[in-house]
């Protein structure tokens, strides 16, 4: 990418740690630093109060070559908004996006064209992402031409056939002339993935790439993405509702709730030992046989030694979101402090971390005792507000 549309990176702190997606020491390809997105709400009274949807708050992540980061959360938690900011389809309200260590700037067409050569998005819906009046050749030839990868008709045909083979649509010669209505959902998604690969991207942002597909073919598409990630050393953001799939598919996982990132770290650790009550709720709603104990309960240590928990209510409105930790109206462990402040990040070891007052005091360096209760450094009594249940 041209450096014209980038500023100096010296004032930014690189988020190069395992909890953000990659091994320490390896530079990230793409980073989001303290991203925030507020959507203005259309209003009919021009003199009325200007409302905003607080869709994403202070979200940071990093993507590394050959590694996948899963972004997990319920509907409306802000996953697509994060992906669209990373793809530069939406301008962040605040925060910085860094590509290869340099802040990405510029909204000019040429800047965006250069950026999208490196960062591609695969949409959730393969039915609406392909134009029904154009055939497969058209869909794949456009990016090849736009980014000057093919100069002659013969080169174009050769590269389209190679792309179709890469996404296992074979015999490729039979698919090249087909129209979207002649393809199954899985085949359409393969074409959409081939279109993203046509520009030789370094980053693939896959926004729930299998959620609209038949269950029987989801694994095939996931395995295809996994193979491409390994073979082409793609840095992959894998957005999903299904936290169990993150364990098999992504090295690292980030959990979002109502626009706030609440837990992250190596997928195995986050999924087999979830600490944040919301992550526990997600996991108990999507049982994974490997994670269940002999009694069928989720093996998930919580403060006080509790395992899973019943949560109440639904994801809140983001126009007027709950203060502090946005999960507090649903959290059975909520304490008075939870509605007043959003807890800072507590490191749990091995790159695993969470934002929850059960494990820390929002940055005032509380230790967590053997029962998981927070206590003052050096003190042996749990803080009184910790155990509400």
Ligand X SMILES: Nc1ncnc2c1ncn2[C@@H]1O[C@H](COP(=O)(O)OP(=O)(O)OP(=O)(O)O)[C@@H](O)[C@H]1O
List contacts with Mg ion (CB under 5 A).
Answer: 80
CB 144 within 8 A of CB 159: yes
Site for ligand SF4 in 257-286 (CB under 6 A): 276-277
Spatial distance between the Cα atoms of 372 and 307, rounded to a whole number of angstroms: 12
Residue 55 interacts with, from ligand SF4, ligand X, Mg ion, none (CB under 5-8 Å by kind): ligand X
Pairing assessment for the beta strands 235-240 and 102-103 based on DSSP bridges = unpaired
Nearer of residues 81 and 308 to ligand X, judged by Cβ: 81
Q: How far is the CB of 148 from ligand SF4 (least distance, A)?
A: 50
Residue 338 binds to ligand SF4 (criterion: CB under 6 A) = yes
Backbone angles phi, psi at 263, to 5 degrees: -155, 150
d(CA 91, CA 330): 31
Q: Which two tokens stand for residue 364?
A: 């005032």
Asked if residue 333 binds ligand SF4 (CB under 6 A), the reply is: yes
Q: How many helices (H) and strands (E) does the chain have?
A: 10, 14
Beta bridge partners of 40: 52
Residue 16: name its binding partner from Mg ion, ligand SF4, ligand X, none (Cβ under 5 to 8 Å by kind). Answer: none
User: CB-wise, 77 or 279, nearer to ligand X?
Assistant: 77
Of 58, 57, 115, the closest CA to residue 87 belongs to 115
Q: Work out how close the CB of 315 gets to Mg ion at its nearest, in angstroms, rounded to a whole number.
A: 13
Please spell the DSSP secondary structure of 15-75, one letter per residue.
--SGGGTS-TTSPPSEEEEEEEEEEEPP-S-TTS---EEEEEEEEEEEE-TT-EEEEE--T
Angle at 272 between CA 267 and CA 274, to 5 degrees: 85
Q: With respect to Mg ion, which residue has the nearer C-beta, 253 or 308?
A: 253
Long-range contacts at 344-349 (CB < 8 A, ≥ 24 apart): 348/265, 348/275
The one among 53, 243, 331, 374 contacting ligand SF4 by CB under 6 A: 331
CA distance 283 to 128: 31
Choose between 238 and 357: whose C-beta lies nearer to Mg ion: 238
Q: How far is the CB of 304 from ligand X (least distance, A)?
A: 30
Report, in Å, the least distance between residue 331 CB and ligand SF4.
Answer: 3
Nearer to ligand SF4, 65 or 322 (CB): 322
Q: What's the closest the beta carbon of residue 39 comes to ligand X, in angstroms?
A: 3
Residue 325 as a binder of ligand SF4 (CB under 6 A): the answer is: yes
Q: What is the CA radius of gyration of the chain?
A: 22
Helix runs in the chain, H state only:
79-86, 109-116, 136-146, 153-166, 172-175, 185-197, 215-232, 243-249, 267-272, 277-285
Taking CA atoms, 142 is separated from 109, 120, 129, 130, in Å, by: 16, 14, 14, 12
DSSP three-state, residue 375: strand
The distance of closest approach from Cβ of residue 318 to ligand X in the complex, given in angstroms and rounded to an integer, is: 4
Cβ of residue 207: shortest distance to Mg ion, in angstroms? 6
Window of 87-95, 164-172, 291-299, 329-337 that interacts with ligand SF4 by CB under 6 A: 329-337
Q: Which of 38, 99, 327, 353 binds ligand SF4 (CB under 6 A)?
A: 327
Decide which of Mg ion, ligand SF4, ligand X, none touches 338; Cβ closer than 5 to 8 Å per partner kind.
ligand SF4
Q: What, of ligand SF4, Mg ion, ligand X, none, does residue 139 touch, CB below 5 to 8 Å by kind?
A: none
* Contacted by 49, from ligand X, Mg ion, ligand SF4, none: CB < 5 to 8 Å by type: none
Q: Compare residues 264 and 372 and give the one whose CB is closer to ligand X.
A: 264
Contact (Cβ atoms closer than 8 angstroms) between residue 350 and residue 267: no
Site for ligand SF4 in 339-368 (CB under 6 A): 343, 356-358
- Binding footprint of ligand X on the chain (CB under 6 A): 39, 53, 55, 73, 75-81, 241, 318
Of 334, 366, 368, 374, which one interacts with ligand SF4 (CB under 6 A)? Answer: 334
What phi and psi values does residue 352 have, to the nearest 5 degrees?
A: -90, 135
8 binds, among Mg ion, ligand SF4, ligand X, none (CB under 5 to 8 A by kind): none
User: What torsion do the CA atoms of 286, 292, 296, 299 make, to the nearest 10 degrees?
Assistant: -100
What's the closest the beta carbon of residue 49 comes to ligand X, in angstroms?
Answer: 16
Q: Give the shortest CB-387-to-ligand X separation in angstroms.
A: 32
Q: Which residues bind ligand SF4 (CB under 6 A)?
A: 276-277, 325, 327-328, 331, 333-335, 338, 343, 356-358
């Amino acid at each position: 990418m041209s450096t014209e549309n980038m500023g100096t990176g010296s004032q930014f702190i690189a988020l190069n740690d395992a909890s953000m997606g990659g091994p320490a020491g390896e530079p990230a390809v793409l980073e989001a630093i303290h991203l925030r997105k507020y959507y203005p709400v259309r209003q009919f009274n021009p003199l009325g109060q200007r409302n905003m949807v607080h869709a994403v708050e202070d979200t940071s992540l990093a993507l590394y070559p050959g590694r996948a980061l899963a972004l997990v959360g319920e509907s409306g938690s802000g996953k697509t908004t994060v992906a669209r900011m990373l793809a530069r389809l939406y301008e962040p309200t605040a925060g910085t996006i860094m590509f290869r260590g340099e802040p990405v700037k510029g909204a000019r067409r040429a800047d965006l064209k250069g950026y999208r050569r490196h960062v591609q998005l695969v949409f959730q819906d393969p039915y609406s992402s392909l134009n029904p009046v154009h055939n497969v050749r058209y869909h794949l030839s456009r990016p090849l031409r736009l980014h000057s990868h093919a100069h002659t008709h013969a080169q174009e045909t050769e590269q389209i056939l190679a792309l179709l083979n890469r996404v296992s649509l074979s015999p490729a010669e039979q698919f090249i002339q087909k129209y979207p209505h002649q393809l199954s959902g899985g085949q359409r998604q393969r074409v959409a993935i081939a279109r993203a690969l046509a520009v030789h991207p370094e980053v693939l942002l896959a926004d729930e790439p299998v959620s609209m597909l038949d269950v029987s073919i989801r694994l095939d598409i996931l395995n295809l993405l996994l193979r491409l990630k390994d073979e082409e050393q793609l840095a992959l953001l894998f957005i999903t509702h299904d936290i169990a799939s993150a364990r098999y598919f992504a090295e690292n996982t980030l959990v979002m709730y109502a626009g706030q990132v609440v837990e992250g770290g190596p997928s195995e650790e986050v999924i087999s030992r979830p600490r944040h009550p919301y992550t526990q709720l997600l996991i108990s709603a999507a049982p994974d046989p490997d994670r269940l104990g002999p009694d069928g309960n989720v093996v998930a240590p919580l403060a006080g030694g509790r395992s899973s928990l019943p949560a109440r209510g639904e994801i809140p409105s983001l126009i007027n979101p709950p203060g502090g930790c946005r999960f507090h109206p649903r959290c059975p462990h909520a304490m008075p402090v939870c509605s007043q402040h959003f807890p800072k990040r507590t490191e749990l070891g091995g790159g695993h971390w969470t934002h929850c007052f059960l494990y820390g005091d929002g940055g005032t360096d509380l230790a967590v005792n053997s029962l998981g209760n927070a206590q003052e450094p050096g003190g042996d009594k749990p803080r009184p507000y910790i155990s509400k249940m």
